[in-house]
Amino acid sequence: MTEPFLDIVVAMAENGIIGRDGDMPWHLSTDLKHFKALTLGRPMVMGRKTFEAIGKPLPGRETLVVSRDPAFAPDGVTVLSDLDAALEAARASAVAKGVPSFVVAGGGVLYAATIERADRLFVTRVAAAPEGDTRFPPIDPARWELTASEPMVRGPRDSADATFETWTRRR
């Protein structure tokens, strides 16, 4: 088997905002289904704050949480104090499971620390420019190629329009 891809999955507003006060500044039920399709069966790395915002391990995904807090030990997840150790554990798990990728699923600190290591970015580009306190790092077109873009079909439980984008690292 080839080496698994490191994928970043993120929902981001037009102004780069991904969060406000520990939550997303929109509700996109359709995007949550898209997120599930991209991550199901894959090891998923996230920061403690992102995990706490979700509130529980997501079914069908091995969850690795990066936290420096030695007392943080929720049931159903693996907690690691070091991002590199979490990425290596996720990579090894993806190899063992025979899945093509492992995922970084937030938040802003982990995205900033992994964007230069990632192979693909799965971006839900939200057609909004909300206030927020957490941003996604800029996507440099010299390093990344937009390889797919598809409008999200907006459902009744979506607060904004969006587009699903796939970016692939230029080699």
Domains, in order of start, for the chain: 5-169 (3.40.430.10)
Degrees, nearest 5: CA angle 112-40-37: 85
What is the predicted pLDDT for the residue at 171?
Answer: 85
14-61 pLDDT, tens digit per residue, is 999 999 998 899 999 999 999 999 999 999 999 999 999 999 999 999
Ramachandran region of residue 76, left (φ > 0), alpha (ψ -120 to 50) or beta?
left
**Amino acid at residue number 154:** R
Report pTM. 0.96
